[in-house]
Amino acid sequence: MPSPSSPIIQEFLQHLWLERGLSKNTREAYQRDILLFSNWLKEQENDLVDASEDDLRAFLGWRFEQKYHPRSTARQISSLRAFYRHMLQNHQILTDITANIEMPRQGKALPKTLSEDDVNALLNSPDTDTTIGQRDRTMLELLYACGLRISELVNLNLDNINLRQGVIRVTGKGSKERLVPMGQEAIDWLASYLKQARSELLNNYESRTLFPGRYGRPMTRQTFWHRIKHYNTIAGIKSDVSPHVLRHAFATHLLNHGADLRVVQLLLGHSDLSTTQIYTHIANHRLTELHKEHHPRG
């Protein structure tokens, strides 16, 4: 039965990397979706190669009974569709069992974001009299100032930083590079961090990593997510804050202050403008709420 090391799954993941340039995180998401179906098939004494359209429909029915969200199911179908089309093209199967499967209906969910006051409260939460606090404050400032993904932030090294020009070079999805301005506040925090706190964190270890964890190695995404959760509690913010919520706040606040949508697209590293357009819905929603709150006939 297929497993994470199954040749047909690994060959597909290799294809996603070599032919489509998808990131490790995206490839892992594909793998999880395929393995979930594979494990379900195993319980039915079946496998990925011999599965039929009826098997897939039964699996989707099981997901519905388990109360999986329609958006999650849509992503699962998308992953399986790419997988089975690839196998069909490689003559590993005779028919594509996903060909007649429709995507579940789903509303357009708006990304969670934060108000500017909440962002300020979060940024002010770390105790900057400590080395760890200085590092965390600098990471939060960069995350918000540049709209970075968490993986982009933790993988930064000294070669990515240009304090004189005030920009960082970011490697995003598909290994695509972009230059992002930092803004004076983030530059000041970064300069202060590099002056003292970073060397104290390294503790004589050699590393080019900008924000080192233990033994000079890059901090993991999970570690920094827990740091944000900690500061979220200190700041007293009612909604859950994740690194991606700060990225959403970055885009939304730019649009609220009059930034052009295509500029925001470039800063976020989106290859398609339609991906960025979701933030216009957030900005319009905010304007509607402000109108209701402050207009005499709202």
Q: What would the two tokens of residue 280 be?
A: 């216009």
pLDDT tens digits, 20-35: 888 889 999 999 999 9
Q: What would the two tokens of residue 1 be?
A: 């039965």
Query: What order do you get walking across the sheet with 167-171 strand by strand?
Result: 161-162, 167-171, 177-181
- Supply the residues annotated as catalytic: 149, 173, 244, 247, 270, 279
53-65 and 24-43 helices, crossing angle to 10°: 100
Report yes or no: 48 and 8 within 8 Å, Cβ to Cβ.
yes
Report yes or no: 265 and 276 within 8 Å, Cβ to Cβ.
yes
pLDDT tens digits, 194-236: 998 999 999 888 889 999 887 888 888 889 989 999 999 999 9
What percent of the chain shows pLDDT beyond 90?
Answer: 48
- Beta-carbon contacts of 163 under 8 Å, excluding residues fewer than 6 positions away, are 187, 190, 191, 194
Report yes or no: 132 and 108 within 8 Å, Cβ to Cβ.
no
Per-residue pLDDT band at 107 (split at 50, 70, 90): low
Give the whole-angstrom CA distance, residue 243 versus residue 249. 10
**Stretch 170-180: mean pLDDT, rounded?**
84
Look up residue 219 and give its DSSP letter: P
- Beta-carbon contacts of 20 under 8 Å, excluding residues fewer than 6 positions away, are 174
Look up residue 102 and give its DSSP letter: P
Which pTM value belongs to this model? 0.59
pLDDT tens digits, 258-272: 777 777 787 887 766
Report the chain's mean pLDDT, rounded to a whole number: 84
Q: What would the two tokens of residue 204 be?
A: 């004589």
SS3 state at 177: strand
Q: What would the two tokens of residue 145 be?
A: 């100032």
Report yes or no: 261 and 277 within 8 Å, Cβ to Cβ.
yes
